[in-house]
């Protein structure tokens, strides 16, 4: 078994970007809009800030009070959409209940939507057109590419169908000519599907939902799950149980989780180039 090392792939991506950014006339601009003071959101926003500063991006953080109105946040986004120094806009999720999340995601200019969560970018991805793509599934595609694991013609089984991970990943895999099966909480006999996977992706959020008997010998395992139990991080896959059975596996931590911020950095540069064109 070989580990798919997200830290290594992330480092390579960030080093390449740093070199490219050093030669630009203007620093790419990233703005993160955060509503309230959710502790997990504070951590994620901090990671984005660290990445942006490391790469020499222009970074700003717009903090709004937790009872901000829909009208006010829309005004903020309209302003950022019009600002020529801003290439990428992120609205940190989740948002408080009084706000219309979908409407806010769709208000971000398509070419500045570096989270790739707008309907327009999702549609472009489905149609295999150039798009800003969601970072976590794009990170999975890049890890596989780095390790030269070709997905064409492979049986790819994805457990989880969220708009953030499972669905966009299914589209990316189809666009690369994989044969894709997507499973979810209503799937009857999950193991029947997972056992056929050449590449098995678990994106559920339940520790050990994938056990050794559910995995084919020699399969590639991508574990997206992040489950914090008693202060320790676990994926969705019984790592110890499957590790001697599979060909490659992403560890948790140190696998897919590393990639999200690197892919965001790539998206900001892509948005910069789209805008500069
Ligand atoms: P989510 O929106 O909660 O979606 C979970 C999916 O799992 C749903 O499609 C759900 O099915 C399915 N599911 C739940 N129980 C199941 C079961 N018993 N059998 C089969 N499928 C089942 O979660 P998410 O945002 O996609 O995230 C999934 C996991 O990845 C979480 O642990 C999250 O923390 C992690 N994550 C990691 C990163 C990263 O950077 N590494 C980024 C995002 C998410 P239904 O659709 O039928 O409800």
Query: How does DSSP assign 174-203, residue by residue?
Result: HHTT-EEEEE-TT-SSHHHHHTT-SEEEE-
Using CA positions, which residue lies closest to atom 2 of ligand 1? 162
* Res. 206: pLDDT tops 70: yes
* Res. 89: pLDDT tops 70: yes
Using CA positions, which residue lies closest to atom 41 of ligand 1? 257
Q: Given ligand 1 and candidates 93, 184, 201, 254, which is best to mutate, with the most ligand atoms within 8 Å of its CB?
A: 184
Residue with tokens 């999702």: 122
Do residues 50 and 265 make contact, with C-beta atoms less than 8 angstroms apart?
Answer: no
Confidence band for 276, pLDDT divided at 50, 70 and 90: confident
Tokens of 226: 């992040």
Tokens of 124: 């472009």
Pocket of ligand 1 (CB under 6 A): 136, 159-162, 164-166, 183-187, 190, 203-206, 209, 224-227, 256-257, 260
Cα 183 from Cα 190, distance rounded (Å): 7
Residue with tokens 């830290």: 7
Q: Write down the pLDDT at residue 217.
A: 98
Q: Write down the pLDDT at residue 22.
A: 95
Cα 20 from Cα 22, distance rounded (Å): 5
Region 216-234 average pLDDT:
97
Region 229-239 average pLDDT:
97
The full length of the chain comes to 277
* Res. 87: pLDDT tops 90: yes
Burial group, residue 194, by CB count within 10 angstroms (0-12, 13-18, 19+):
buried
Domains 26-109 and 135-258 share a fold: yes
Cα 250 from Cα 6, distance rounded (Å): 7
Indicate which atom in ligand 1 lies nearest the CA of residue 257. 41
pLDDT single digits (tens) 13-66: 999 999 999 999 999 999 999 999 999 999 999 999 999 999 999 999 999 999
The secondary structure of 132-184 as a DSSP string is: ---HHHHHHHHHHHHTT---TT-EEEEE---TTTHHHHHHHHHHTT-EEEEE-
Cα 55 from Cα 59, distance rounded (Å): 10
Q: H-helix or E-strand containing 272?
A: helix 259-276
Count of helix runs (H) and strand runs (E) in the chain: 10, 11
CATH (residue range 135-258): 3.40.50.720
Q: Which residues lie closer than 8 Å to 66 by C-beta, 6 or more apart?
A: 35, 36, 37, 96
Confidence band for 209, pLDDT divided at 50, 70 and 90: very high
Query: How does the average pLDDT of the chain come out, rounded?
Result: 97
Q: H-helix or E-strand containing 126?
A: helix 119-126
Largest CA distance in the chain: 55
Region 160-164 average pLDDT:
98
Cα 157 from Cα 142, distance rounded (Å): 17
What's the 205 CA to ligand 1 centre distance in angstroms?
Answer: 5
Comparing CA positions, the residue from 86, 143, 93, 137 lying closest to residue 109 is: 86
Indicate which atom in ligand 1 lies nearest the CA of residue 259. 40
Phi-psi region of 24 (alpha: psi -120 to 50; beta: other; left: phi over 0): beta
Region 215-228 average pLDDT:
98
Domain ranges of the chain: 26-109, 135-258
User: Percent of the chain at pLDDT above 90?
Assistant: 98
Tokens of 216: 């084919």
Q: Under CATH, which architecture does the 26-109 domain have?
A: 3-Layer(aba) Sandwich (3.40)
* DSSP letter (8 states) at residue 237: B
Q: Is the pTM of this model over 0.95?
A: yes
What's the 225 CA to ligand 1 centre distance in angstroms?
Answer: 7
Confidence band for 275, pLDDT divided at 50, 70 and 90: confident
| Number of C-beta neighbours around residue 123 at 10 A | 13
What's the 220 CA to ligand 1 centre distance in angstroms?
Answer: 19
* Res. 277: pLDDT tops 70: no
Region 88-116 average pLDDT:
97
């Amino acid at each position: 078994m070989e580990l798919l090392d997200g830290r290594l792939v992330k480092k390579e991506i960030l080093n390449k970007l740093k070199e490219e950014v050093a030669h630009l006339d203007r620093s790419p601009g990233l703005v993160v809009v955060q509503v309230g003071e959710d502790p997990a959101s504070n951590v994620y926003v901090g990671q984005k800030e660290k990445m942006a500063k490391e790469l020499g991006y222009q970074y700003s953080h717009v903090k709004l009070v937790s009872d901000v109105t829909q009208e006010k946040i829309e005004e903020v986004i309209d302003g950022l959409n019009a600002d020529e120094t801003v290439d990428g806009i992120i609205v940190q999720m989740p948002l408080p209940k009084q706000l219309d999340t979908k409407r806010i995601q769709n208000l971000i200019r398509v070419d500045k939507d570096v989270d790739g969560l707008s309907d327009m970018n999702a549609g472009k991805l489905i149609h295999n057109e150039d798009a800003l793509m969601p970072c976590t599934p794009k990170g999975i595609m890049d890890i596989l590419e780095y390790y030269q694991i070709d997905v064409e013609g492979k049986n790819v089984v994805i457990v989880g169908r969220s708009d953030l991970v499972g669905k966009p990943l299914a589209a990316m895999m189809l666009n690369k000519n994989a044969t894709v099966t997507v499973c979810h909480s209503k799937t009857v006999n999950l193991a029947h599907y997972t056992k056929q996977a050449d590449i098995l992706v678990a994106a559920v959020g339940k520790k050990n939902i994938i056990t050794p008997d559910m995995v084919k010998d020699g399969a590639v395992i991508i574990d997206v799950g992040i489950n914090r139990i008693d202060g320790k991080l676990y994926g969705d896959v019984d790592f110890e149980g499957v590790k001697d059975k599979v060909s490659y596996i992403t560890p948790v931590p140190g696998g897919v989780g590393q990639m999200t911020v690197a892919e965001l950095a790539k998206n900001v540069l892509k948005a910069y180039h789209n805008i500069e064109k």
